[in-house]
Structure 1
Amino acid sequence: MKKEIICTVCPRGCHIDVIGEGETVTSVEGYGCKRGLEYASQEFTHPVRILTTTVKIAGIPGDLLTVRSAAPLPKEKLFDCMEVIRKVEVSAPVKRYDVIVENICETGIDMVATKSIL
């Protein structure tokens, strides 16, 4: 299987061609640096993303608290994580980096607040 990946590690945006099957990468071409090689290999075998979104704040209609994953989440779990997050409502006070959802979708990764609300 061949997959073209646009590298996002640096501003160059290299177009990298990765060839492989499943968890095995057999060829990587078009990368401009070692970080691009590592990124393309990981993106082919196990793509991950930082999830940034919002949750409701109790007692303040229409106001939202921004949250993000403390580490990259497996791409295939993002929609499952959003199903959990959309049901979450927090109460003030919340401090920046407070854990809002612990171990989301059993990934071992927490969702944390990105700002404080008093």
Structure 2
Amino acid sequence: MSDLICIVCPNGCRLRATYEGGELKVEGNKCPKGTEFARKELTAPTRSVTGTVATVFAGYPVLTVKTKGEIPKEKVKELAALLKRTKVKRVMRVGESVIENALGTGVDVVATTDMSKLISDGKG
């Protein structure tokens, strides 16, 4: 038995997942998404990651980033360490890849801020 809180939608349903006769049974979900969330969470949990990376620009020391998709949950800490070691050396725009195929997951880490607007405005 596993107790989970579904994070797929704003409802935040409290789920109770059990296996009965080899089949997953989920209780507490208000929509079908809860069942799929529980199945995924118990077999291959993934997470989206947001964070920052350092830049070489004195007036713009950090750039906000996120994964373009979800990565395996067990790689989140490793990705956080990689972000900490990463330094951006050129102006990035929203959606540009800062790290391609992060940790071999097939998921890119992309910029979530347009540095060119801030730097061209004299703020960077």
TM range (shorter): 0.7 to 0.9
Equivalent residue letter for 1:92: R
Question: Secondary structure of the equivalent of 1:77?
Answer: helix
Aligned partners of 2:82 and 2:93: how far apart in 1?
21
State the structure with more CA Rg.
2
Larger displacement relative to structure 2 (100-109 or 59-68) = 59-68
Structure 2 equivalent of residue 9 of structure 1: 8
d(CA) in 2 for partners of 1:25 and 1:114?
A: 41
Within the alignment, does 1:55 sit opposite 2:53 as a pair?
yes
Q: Which residue of 1 aligns with 2:76?
A: 78
Partner of 1:58, secondary structure, is: strand
Q: Give % identity.
A: 32
Instruction: Determine the C-alpha separation between the residues in 2 that align with 1:25 and 1:96.
Output: 43
Q: What TM-score do you get using the length of structure 2 for normalisation?
A: 0.83
Shift of 1:61: 6.4
More helix by share: 2
| SS at 2:34 equivalent | helix
In the alignment, which of 32, 35, 56 is matched to residue 34 of structure 1?
A: 32
Alignment check: 8 A CA contact 2:56 2:87 kept: yes
Of stretches 92-101 and 8-17 in structure 1, the one that deviates more from structure 2 is 8-17
RMSD, aligned CA = 1.7
Counterpart secondary structure, 2:79: helix
Distance 1:81 1:28 in 2: 31
Structure 1 unaligned segments of length 5 or more: list them. none
Q: Using a 3 Å threshold, how does the CA distance of structure 1 residues 66 and 35 change in structure 2: closer, same or farther?
A: same
Calculate the TM-score normalised by the size of structure 1: 0.87
Aligned to 1:46: 44
Where structure 2 has 5 or more consecutive residues not aligned to the other structure, the ranges are 117-124
Does 2:103 match 1:105? yes
C-alpha distance after superposition, 1:1-49 (max 9, x if no partner)? x1111112222221111124xxx75321221111111111111111111
Distance 2:48 2:4 in 1: 18
Q: Is the 8 A contact 1:25 1:41 kept in 2?
A: no
- Check whether the contact 2:53–2:84 (CA below 8 A) recurs between aligned residues: yes
